[in-house]
Chains A and B, each alone.
Chain A
Amino acid sequence: MAAGLEVHAAQKDEARVLYINGFINAHTVQDFEKSIQSVLAEKNYRILINCKELEYINSSGLGVLMGVIEEIQDNDGFLYLSDMNETVFNIFDTLGFTHLFKVFDAEMEALNSLKELKDSAMNED
């Protein structure tokens, strides 16, 4: 990992949760991309990115998210984000990315939303 970014993953309920610590810019973006690609390589298409410790993300990092969203959606998955600080939220909001990626205030809210989706799908069956 490049200095400036650490990513670790954990399985929580239905989602692979990626915890991002540091910043995503041109210097660290390759490590960020590798982390997401390794999750996709394991056929995990239900991804939640916890941004609590993410200082900022620049256009390189947003490009990575744009680059994987199609593959995730094609596999009936999702890419959720949570716990953004104001800086990170501002950039998503300014670019209109909040319409493309579901953003939750907190990880627990995202996981609860998934649980509700799962429960409702089971009831339909």
Chain B
Amino acid sequence: MKELLTGDIQVTFPSDTVYVHMAITVASNAATIAGFDKSIASKVALATDEAITNVIKHAYGGDKNKQITLKAKITDESLTLRVVHTGKALTNEEIKLPDMEKYIKARKRGGLGLYIMKQFMDEVVFLVGKEHCCLMTKYRNVDK
């Protein structure tokens, strides 16, 4: 039986979109180490891209000189990804997911990031504190 790997990975980088691809490579690799297949790892990467992009655009308002920390934690049960920042907090109450049928009919653009995160991860919550955090979880034995 294949041994389950566990561990913590952390990377801190400036709030500049040039670093997003590097960060999602970390998330994708963490997912692969956690035993997820390539398809799930790519979904984890995409959800991480959206979470980090949200922080850069909305929490930091495009300021490239702030810091973002991506923390990946692999446990026996799950892979959790925390996108940690000190910008404007987003709370769970503020989240409004689009009705995709109406969205497509109206030819809207924008506002899909949170929807993608929710679809591709098992849980997405926003934590407010001294540092704010988007916490995303993918369970190791659950496919979505």
Partner-B contacts on A (CB < 8 A): 3-4, 23, 25-27, 56, 58-60, 62-64, 66-67, 69-70, 86-87, 90-91, 94-97, 99-100
Q: Is the CB of B39 within 8 A of A86?
A: yes
**Interface positions of B (Cβ within 8 A of A):** 17-18, 20-21, 38-39, 42-43, 45-46, 49-50, 53, 56-57, 100-101, 104, 107-113, 115-116, 119-120
The one of A25, A94, A96, A99 in contact with B49, judged by C-beta atoms closer than 8 angstroms, is A25
Closest beta carbon of chain A to B3's beta carbon, Å: 27
Known: A26-B17, A86-B42, A87-B46. A59 touches B116 (CB 8 A): yes
Q: Which residues of B contact A3 (CB under 8 A)?
A: 18
Which residues from B are CB-within-8-Å of A91? Answer: 46, 116
Instruction: Kindly list chain A residues whose C-beta atoms are within 8 Å of the C-beta of B56.
Output: 26
Choose among A27, A66, A94 the residue that contacts B20 (Cβ–Cβ < 8 A): A27
Q: How far is the CB of B109 from chain A (nearest CB, A)?
A: 4
* Whole-angstrom CA separation of A58 from B110 in the bound complex: 11
> B53's contact among A60, A66, A90, by CB below 8 Å, is which?
A60
How far apart are the CA atoms of A56 and B53 in the complex, in Å? Answer: 15
Contact A59 B104 (CB under 8 A): no
- The residue of chain B having its C-beta at the shortest distance from the C-beta of A95 within the complex is B100
Contact flag A94-B120 (CB < 8 Å), given A58-B53, A63-B109, A66-B109? yes
User: Could you say which residues of chain B place their CB within 8 Å of the CB of A94?
Assistant: 116, 119-120
Q: Which residues of B contact A90 (CB under 8 A)?
A: 39, 42-43
A21 CB to closest chain B CB (Å) equals 14
Contact of B100 among A25, A60, A63, A96 (CB under 8 A): A96
Q: How far is the CA of A4 from the CA of B57 in the complex (A)?
A: 19
Beta-carbon contact of B116 and A97 below 8 Å: no
Give 17 CB contacts A-B under 8 Å.
A23-B21, A25-B20, A25-B53, A26-B56, A27-B20, A58-B49, A59-B112, A59-B116, A60-B53, A66-B109, A67-B109, A87-B42, A90-B39, A94-B119, A95-B115, A99-B104, A100-B104
Since A62-B109, A86-B42, A94-B116 are in contact, a sample of 5 more A-B pairs with Cβ atoms closer than 8 Å, ordered by chain A residue number, is A26-B57, A58-B113, A70-B107, A87-B42, A87-B43
B100 to chain A, nearest CB (A): 5
Q: Across the interface, name the chain A residue whose C-beta is closest to B98.
A: A95
Q: Name the contact of A56 in the complex, choosing from B39, B42, B111, B115 (C-beta under 8 A).
A: B42
Choose one: A4, A26, A96; the contact of B104 (CB below 8 Å): A96
